[in-house]
Amino acid sequence: MPRSIVIVHGWSDDSKSFRRLAEQLEAWFGSAPTQIRLADWISLQDDVTYADLAAALDRAWTAQGLSRAPRTVDVVVHSTGALVLRDWLTRHFDPASAPVKRFLMLAPANFGSPLAHKGRSFIGRVLKGWNRFVGQTGTQVLKGLELGSPYSWQLAERDLFGAEAWYGAGRLLATVLVGNVGYSGVEAIANEAGGDGTVRIATANLNACRLSLELDVRQRARPGWRLEESRGEIAFAIVDGENHASVALKDRGPKNPHTLELIRAALEVEDADYRSSGASFPWQRRIDQLDPGIERRSPRYLNLVSHVCDDLDQEVRDYFIQFFRKLNSDRRFEQRFYEQVIADVHPYEDNPAYRSLYLSIESLDDLLAGFAVDTLSLSVSAQPPFDPPRQPVGYTAVGPGDSEGLAIPLAQVPRFLAAHRTLLLRIRLTRLVDSGVFVFRNP
């Protein structure tokens, strides 16, 4: 039976732009890859959802005669195609029955893209050129692609933090490749530090952590908080000098001599390459040896995605994540943290209980080294402030100096705030309700 390799493109793209990649795979492996074509009108139609795309992909998979037997087909995805594939897999299969064996993600938008919320005119200029604008932009797809989206969080809950591992030996053999430079020319309008012109390194990496904690009325972390690593083994490589297009052999790519080697090797890996030993596995060690130090040389940022609710299961839509040192009097540390470490904050437009913070880990390292900090604390300031009878419901207003928050020892900070990855931060606050909100009175 001939080998099947499926190529799935991303948002506002089509299969024609992947002909060079397909030709390269054919030269290596001897048979033309099967492509699933998500036409532009489908990816740009405002009413099309990820559930629609997963259903259409499933139907097209069967119509193309692709095997549904476990681990029989290899898949290469680009950008938003990673979300489509992961959604399809977790909707229609379980980890043991998934038909995909090798899963190569090129510049994937696993935790979103800062382009998604920029607006139609901005997107039109970046993708179509000056003075050319698009009509429909794929509203529902872009909502899921937006930084801090509930969709990308829930998808991660399914395949990264579920009861069974989706990735690793005996499961999907996944590899993520992402560049570390942006575009040139007019497309440079979308460039930012730590990105490839479209996605951020931190949002491409599928390895993630989840921190879950409850805070009492004084903003103290209750016992039982948990920091969890995502399940399974997922290989990750930053490819020096590549941008969002060139890493997929577009835009006159590749521009790094290792890119083709990485793509080919990712489509030849076997289970033994993912057998975990200690903190790593053989395929990841091979990647690291190709360009030692690339993670340190690339702009180092963390994608922190927060979701805040309260103990009455109500979402908190107006809040501020606080980072502080407990023993201080002048607030210089906090001022510099917010000025230098937090590079960007994006509340999710449809539900600001979700938001994305873009943290410079390089600036954080410098800040921690420059101040006498033995513990970094984290808490939340939320609205409305509880102040009866004027404000009979809400949350205690506690300043950083009066709150313990979650105290993270200095040596443990890199476990929580690590470069080139996402931290999902789930916080549950204690909501106060004054006795005057509901009373019984004598007749």
- What are the residue ranges spanned by the domains of the chain? 2-295, 299-431
pLDDT-derived band at 139 (thresholds 50, 70, 90) equals: confident
Tens digits of residue pLDDT in 362-397: 999 999 999 988 999 999 999 999 999 999 999 998
What residue type is assigned to position 377 of the chain?
Answer: S
Alpha-carbon span 254 to 258, nearest angstrom:
9
Identify the pLDDT of residue 126: 56
Q: Per-residue pLDDT for 128 more than 60?
A: no
Share of the chain above pLDDT 90, in %: 76
pLDDT-derived band at 304 (thresholds 50, 70, 90) equals: very high
**Which CATH number among 3.30.390.30, 3.30.930.10, 1.10.10.10, 3.40.50.1820 corresponds to the domain 2-295?**
3.40.50.1820
Range 64-69 contact pairs with CB under 8 angstroms and sequence separation of 24 or more: 64/34, 64/36, 66/4, 66/6, 66/34, 66/99, 67/1, 67/4, 67/99, 68/99, 69/99
- The count of C-alpha atoms lying within 13 angstroms of the C-alpha of 93, restricted to the half-sphere facing its C-beta, is 22
pLDDT-derived band at 31 (thresholds 50, 70, 90) equals: low
Alpha-carbon span 189 to 243, nearest angstrom:
14
**How much is the average pLDDT of 418-422?**
99
pLDDT-derived band at 239 (thresholds 50, 70, 90) equals: very high
Tens digits of residue pLDDT in 87-111: 999 999 999 999 999 999 999 999 9
pLDDT-derived band at 326 (thresholds 50, 70, 90) equals: confident
Q: Per-residue pLDDT for 41 more than 60?
A: no
pLDDT-derived band at 190 (thresholds 50, 70, 90) equals: confident
Q: Which has more pLDDT, 262 or 16?
A: 262
Contact present, 178 and 239 (Cβ < 8 Å): yes
**How much is the average pLDDT of 29-44?**
58
Q: Per-residue pLDDT for 328 more than 70?
A: no
Tens digits of residue pLDDT in 286-303: 999 999 999 999 999 999
Identify the pLDDT of residue 129: 45
Identify the pLDDT of residue 53: 94
From the number of C-beta atoms within 10 Å of its C-beta (0-12, 13-18, 19+), residue 47 rates as exposed
Identify the pLDDT of residue 62: 93
pLDDT-derived band at 46 (thresholds 50, 70, 90) equals: confident
Identify the pLDDT of residue 130: 46
Identify the pLDDT of residue 153: 99
Q: pTM to 2 decimals?
A: 0.94
